[in-house]
Structure 1
Amino acid sequence: MNAVIFCDGGCGWLAPLSRLPKALLPLCGRPLLAYLLDLLADSGCVEQTLLVEDGRELSCQFGSLYRGMPLAYAHEAPDHTGTDTLVIPEPVLADFDLCAALSVHQNHGGMTALCIAVTEPELYPMLENGQAFTGCCILSAGMPLRQDLYVLARQEQAQLYPDAGTWHRIGSVREYLRAQRAVLRSGLKTAGIRTSQGCITPDGQPDNRLEQPCCTGAGLKIGGDSRIRSCILGRQVSIGSGVELTDCVVGDGAYIGDNVVCREAWIGAGAMLMQGSCMEPGSALGENSRLGEASVLRQGVQVYTDKRVPPRTDAAEDVRSSLPVPLELDSGCLCGEQTALGMLRLGEGLAACGDTAVGCAEDPDSRVLLHTLCAGIALAGGGCLRLEDCTLPQLQAASVMGDCDLLLYADAGAKDCLTLYGKGGLPLTRQQEQQIGGALSMPSGLGFRKHRSGMIAEGSGFAALYTRQLALRSRSDCGRRIEISAGAPGLGRLAETLFGGTGAPLVFQLSDGGRRLTVYGEDTGFVHYEQLLLLCCMLRGRKGEDAALPDWFPAAGDRLMETYGRRILRYGREEDSRARALALAQRFSLDGLELGMELTELLAETGESLSALLAQLPPLYTTRRLMEAGDSARQLLQRVCGDPRGGVLQENAQGAVRVLPEGRESLLLYAASSDMETAQELCGQAEAFLRGYC
């Protein structure tokens, strides 16, 4: 007897969730079709199997011989059978006595229909004997060969073979999950995978957080306090802490964040469930889709492939296209769709923290953002200092002069077009982040403080005053001709009016919107931002003063200041009023233009060359490396540093490595040491370590 399996045609329920054809859907780590081919090969009565497919996926997967049984492929089935032929209209999970069915057929000839007793008759076409037609028939030689044989079976032109074992047609997410559990609980062993303590694992050593029965692929990572019950987990699956999974199927490469709860759900390959999300029974998250933080998929809801569900969403209907991502605060950047409601919520959060200086770059789109932001703050009853067509350093200075607690800069042409800082460009404090984040995540309505009116004040005078103050400090006697390199045109024009001089060229390279400065000279090579900060600290130490630096700065600064009997005050997200106040007073660590002024003043006052001044510093070499981490960047930082904002990854006598978020999907590795080779080596080691968690 030969066999024909129809694997062509679309699968309506599967197409939105997976790119795989139904025949290749994984069941406990093996394709669905493999189980059916095992049944035919084990029977010993099938000489050859023809697979009817649309493309070439099956031939690439299974080849021309399966366990000694020849396989053939075609895009269409022949019109008639040439011998007794078993016809299977679609890939199914089945277990029945094929030889017994063939014996019944040979006694009667013609057509023999396989039928089964079912408890859910709505899932199968029913026959007159009260049993369900499986769709599978055995046809005698010369009979027409077609995929749909129900009409013939219904018209009693077929001999019925009742109670034909177990069948799972897999026509929905629930049936797919049911078939997975059937394979898992039957004790079937997949090729090359051993069973141990009720679990199917790649190495026979199940994780003690798995409650049998379970099936896992290679590279599984599970966090602490997680409970995995009766689940099928694919390869390279990453599971956080406090996770509860029950009767779930998880595809290859999926990421499940901390405190996620899922029951009887399908999580597609490459999908991501962020912290605190939940999937109810029968729900499905398609391949490469993302369920946002604290979001819920209600019972039976499906998220199609490559779609995103924003944080704190209660999804009661299928998600066929990505939902709008609401505005959210992410490492000082405001990301998401800039809707009117989002801007109003942002205004409420800013007003709760105090007054805000709001500025924008020199383009029409940035001006629209500026006016919308100011309106949101005023509606919430907050105070707003507005600076149109300014640079970020000017806005930072205006926030100090105007005694504003926050500053918000809009640049529609930048990658992160809305950036938010504390006064003068300081990092936001934890309390400020919580207040603003809480306002942005309000589920509905706005709590505008109607008891007082908001105020919008014009702040362009502060920007002009800042420029004037820097111009008065400009030194043309520093012995170098300062040339400017800046990404933003407005920033470049401003810097060119402030710096000049004569002599050998010294290039000032401004970055991070003007907050950082790097210098290049033919005699010095590149002088990095950290080395320039050390020069400013040396100047402060010589004057008997302390210096303020960001909390990530290497320990070389502390050692330098100790030689003068002074110390470094470090500022960050904590409410350290003295360190933050000193940073605002000194300014050089927050403003690249101020840092440039400090450098030219130091060169003019000492009369020393830049190379001579650098020689007086302790050796400090730094290297940075950008690492793509996908949507799991924040979860990775939480896992390795205990803080999604990053921290020290390694610190010893050789040097230190910090890891920081860079945008939404990248990490910035920052290594510092007494020599460049060691700094690069430390950075490489840190990247290899982090990739082990990706």
Structure 2
Amino acid sequence: MNAIILAAGYATRLRPLSYIRPKVLLPICGHPLLDILLRSLSGSGFNHVHINTHHLSGQISSFLCQHDYALEVKTYHEEEILGTGGGIYRMIEEIPGTKTSVFIINGDILAGIDPLVVWQVHLKSRAAVTMVMIDLPEYNNVLVDRDFSIVGFGEKAKPLADKNPELRFLAFTGMHVVNKDIVLRYSPNKKFFSIIETYENAISAGEKVKAMFVPHITWQEVGSVEGYVEAHKRLMRNSEEFAPWLTNVSFPSIHSTAAIHRSAKLEESVCIGRNSKVDANTILKNVIIWDNVLVGKDIQLEDTIVCDNCTVQESMKNEILLPEM
């Protein structure tokens, strides 16, 4: 079973955090997001994972060299970003077999659904493409009919929706399964393109492109600073809402190697990474601390993210602290 993790983007909505780490290595309650994704895919029975890289790709390569997973991981570095379609085409072209199906996930989401279930639904439906959908008004831009066949995407689909009240827009979760031959047959003849262009061509040719509508799953984007903060709050409040996707991952708010002075106060949502130290009389409220951070005495931090290798010497609120470069 093959899976693809899309990880090549610049993660502009995560800046300045993505200046320090690529988005798939941002720590989520102490676990790099890539670690969460690989553990989850392995637990669901996938044994081959393909990852495209570009921005800060060396960090991803180093991370994979330092960790051993119960699956084969192959990276594909893009000298120039190819878009979701170009990246998928390049990777899927090298996967053996002409009728192979591949599970694909964006490298910046968490979801409360087992990827194996998505895989099984796709195979049973005999669809060319299966896209996992939810109803989230701010993201709804995929048009489906009453049988959950996809008929269009984005602005181009609005005239169809205006003419037919039985059609509705849903939100794409960033998880989909596609048959290899569909990507090879219907992708445009150019290097950079969106996978949506491929799917539009497949729909025009009469292929079965389906929505798997899962109205009650938990879903969280981690591709923006706001989403990143919200993911921490939700996981520390109740990580089980993301099960079974996160079955093999535990989420302590304080890493076992962190040192917290007994007089320090931690309020509401606080996450402290590996080898970090919080000194005496410090108050932390809604704070995310990455690795190798020192928070000095008598400091108050609120609604703040402290990145790797920082020393905090003054109180802060609503800040992102980066290491000196």
Q: Report TM bin, short chain.
A: 0.5 to 0.7
The residue that corresponds to 1:166 in the other structure is 218
Q: CA deviation at 1:183?
A: 3.1
Separation in structure 2 between the aligned mates of residue 65 and residue 228 of structure 1, nearest angstrom: 31
Separation in structure 2 between the aligned mates of residue 172 and residue 233 of structure 1, nearest angstrom: 17
Q: 1:107 to 1:31 in 2, by over 3 A?
A: same
2:267 matches 1:211: yes
Separation in structure 2 between the aligned mates of residue 214 and residue 15 of structure 1, nearest angstrom: 21
Contact 1:3–1:50 (CA<8 Å) still a contact in 2? yes
Separation in structure 1 between the aligned mates of residue 10 and residue 258 of structure 2, nearest angstrom: 37
Contact 1:127–1:153 (CA<8 Å) still a contact in 2? no
Separation in structure 1 between the aligned mates of residue 59 and residue 258 of structure 2, nearest angstrom: 30
Amino acid at match of 2:181: G
Separation in structure 2 between the aligned mates of residue 34 and residue 212 of structure 1, nearest angstrom: 25
Q: CA deviation at 1:241?
A: 4.4
Contact 1:135–1:149 (CA<8 Å) still a contact in 2? no
Contact 1:36–1:94 (CA<8 Å) still a contact in 2? no
Q: 1:26 to 1:203 in 2, by over 3 A?
A: closer
Q: Helix, strand or coil for the counterpart of 2:228?
A: helix
Q: Helix, strand or coil for the counterpart of 2:143?
A: coil
1:401-550 correspondence to structure 2 within 5 Å: none
Contact 1:215–1:233 (CA<8 Å) still a contact in 2? yes
Contact 2:39–2:248 (CA<8 Å) still a contact in 1? no
The residue that corresponds to 1:78 in the other structure is 92
Contact 1:115–1:161 (CA<8 Å) still a contact in 2? yes
The residue that corresponds to 2:289 in the other structure is 233
Match of 1:176 among 187, 209, 228: 228
2:132 matches 1:132: no
The residue that corresponds to 2:278 in the other structure is 221
Separation in structure 2 between the aligned mates of residue 86 and residue 186 of structure 1, nearest angstrom: 27
Separation in structure 1 between the aligned mates of residue 47 and residue 271 of structure 2, nearest angstrom: 33
Separation in structure 2 between the aligned mates of residue 191 and residue 3 of structure 1, nearest angstrom: 18
Q: 1:238 to 1:89 in 2, by over 3 A?
A: closer
The residue that corresponds to 1:11 in the other structure is 11
2:127 matches 1:95: no
Contact 1:23–1:31 (CA<8 Å) still a contact in 2? yes
Percent same amino acid at aligned positions? Answer: 25
Q: 1:244 to 1:130 in 2, by over 3 A?
A: farther
Separation in structure 2 between the aligned mates of residue 183 and residue 10 of structure 1, nearest angstrom: 25
The residue that corresponds to 2:50 in the other structure is 50
Amino acid at match of 1:238: L
The structure with more radius of gyration: 1
Separation in structure 1 between the aligned mates of residue 279 and residue 290 of structure 2, nearest angstrom: 13
Separation in structure 2 between the aligned mates of residue 193 and residue 136 of structure 1, nearest angstrom: 23
Amino acid at match of 2:196: Y
**CA displacement 1:67-108 (0-9 Å, x = unmatched):** 311111223423486311012244433331222212211122
Contact 1:181–1:247 (CA<8 Å) still a contact in 2? no
Q: 1:33 to 1:158 in 2, by over 3 A?
A: same
Match of 2:195 among 127, 141, 149: 149
Contact 2:104–2:177 (CA<8 Å) still a contact in 1? yes
Q: Helix, strand or coil for the counterpart of 2:181?
A: coil
Q: CA deviation at 1:206?
A: 5.3
Separation in structure 1 between the aligned mates of residue 280 and residue 70 of structure 2, nearest angstrom: 43
Q: 1:42 to 1:246 in 2, by over 3 A?
A: farther
Q: CA deviation at 1:111?
A: 0.8
The residue that corresponds to 2:152 in the other structure is none
Contact 1:173–1:266 (CA<8 Å) still a contact in 2? no
Q: Helix, strand or coil for the counterpart of 1:174?
A: helix
Separation in structure 2 between the aligned mates of residue 167 and residue 242 of structure 1, nearest angstrom: 38
**CA displacement 1:196-231 (0-9 Å, x = unmatched):** xxx42325875552235432232413242x321242
Q: CA deviation at 1:135?
A: 3.0
The residue that corresponds to 1:115 in the other structure is 133
The residue that corresponds to 2:83 in the other structure is none
Q: CA deviation at 1:132?
A: 0.3
The residue that corresponds to 1:254 in the other structure is 310
1:572-583 correspondence to structure 2 within 5 Å: none
Q: CA deviation at 1:29?
A: 2.4
Q: 1:194 to 1:27 in 2, by over 3 A?
A: closer
Q: 1:89 to 1:124 in 2, by over 3 A?
A: farther
1:624-639 correspondence to structure 2 within 5 Å: none
Separation in structure 1 between the aligned mates of residue 276 and residue 177 of structure 2, nearest angstrom: 43
Q: 1:85 to 1:99 in 2, by over 3 A?
A: same
Amino acid at match of 1:116: I
Which structure is higher in RCO with an 8 Å CA cutoff and minimum separation 6? 2
The residue that corresponds to 2:31 in the other structure is 30
Separation in structure 2 between the aligned mates of residue 192 and residue 135 of structure 1, nearest angstrom: 21
Q: CA deviation at 1:41?
A: 1.2
Q: Helix, strand or coil for the counterpart of 1:201?
A: coil
Q: CA deviation at 1:124?
A: 5.8
Amino acid at match of 1:37: L
Amino acid at match of 1:222: D
Q: Helix, strand or coil for the counterpart of 1:246?
A: strand
Q: Helix, strand or coil for the counterpart of 1:144?
A: helix
Q: 1:5 to 1:93 in 2, by over 3 A?
A: same
2:70 matches 1:68: yes
Contact 1:7–1:52 (CA<8 Å) still a contact in 2? yes
Structure 1: unaligned runs, 5 residues or longer: 271-287, 289-305, 307-694
Q: Helix, strand or coil for the counterpart of 1:127?
A: strand
Contact 2:295–2:311 (CA<8 Å) still a contact in 1? yes
Q: What's the C-alpha RMSD, in Å, of the aligned pairs?
A: 3.4
Q: TM-score, normalised by structure 2?
A: 0.67
Structure 2: unaligned runs, 5 residues or longer: 78-89, 145-167, 188-192, 241-245
Count of matched residue pairs: 262
Contact 1:221–1:236 (CA<8 Å) still a contact in 2? no
Amino acid at match of 1:117: D
Q: 1:62 to 1:106 in 2, by over 3 A?
A: same
Separation in structure 2 between the aligned mates of residue 117 and residue 99 of structure 1, nearest angstrom: 21
Amino acid at match of 1:160: A
Q: CA deviation at 1:25?
A: 1.7
Amino acid at match of 2:133: C
